Amino acid sequence: MTETPSILFVCLGNICRSPLAEAALRAEAEKAGLDLLVDSAGTGDWHVGSPPDRRAQAVALRHGIDISGYRGRQVTAEDFRRFTHVFALDADNLHNLKRIRPADGTASLQLLMDMVPGREGSGVTDPYFGDEAGFDVTWDDVTRAAKAIVTRLSD
């Protein structure tokens, strides 16, 4: 029996990019009938227990997904044993994840946009300090990555 793929998305605060990535992958996996465990976390602890940014909630809702029940949490060493894949949403978070990854961590670790042909090595831009349009760009990026993940896991 093969292990159910389990995917963790990690950004800085877990209120913008990573919850949107979580929502996008849940939606794409459901469309494809793919059984996945999906979660998100942040490397920082500022927003633990907080709902996603209202602008992130709005963009997800425009795409038919309610993320108002999501709550921010901080990534832990155990996440590297619990999940099969950990995706950082930018290079800074990838660096921090490499630093905290335990020696016995079994999850693969990479940038999320490495999954999208032509976007390898790039990060998902943090929309937090911008306007609502930035959240649309983030949604487009994480949706493209979610589709690529589903395609790869379905092969």
For residue 140, give the amino acid letter.
Answer: D
Distances (CA, A) of 57 to 24, 71, 78, 109, 140: 12, 12, 28, 27, 14
Of the candidates 16, 17, 39, 141, the residue annotated as catalytic is 17
Q: Is 126 among the residues known to form the active site? A: yes
* Helix and strand element counts for the chain (H, E): 5, 4
Q: Are 130 and 138 in contact (CB under 8 A)?
A: no
Active-site residue flag, 11: yes
Provide, for the chain, the percentages of residues in helix, strand and coil under a 3-state DSSP scheme, each rounded to the nearest 5: 45, 15, 45
The residue from 53, 126, 141, 144 that is catalytic is 126
What distance in Å separates the CA atoms of residue 27 and residue 4, rounded to the nearest whole number? 17
- Give the active site residues: 11, 17, 126
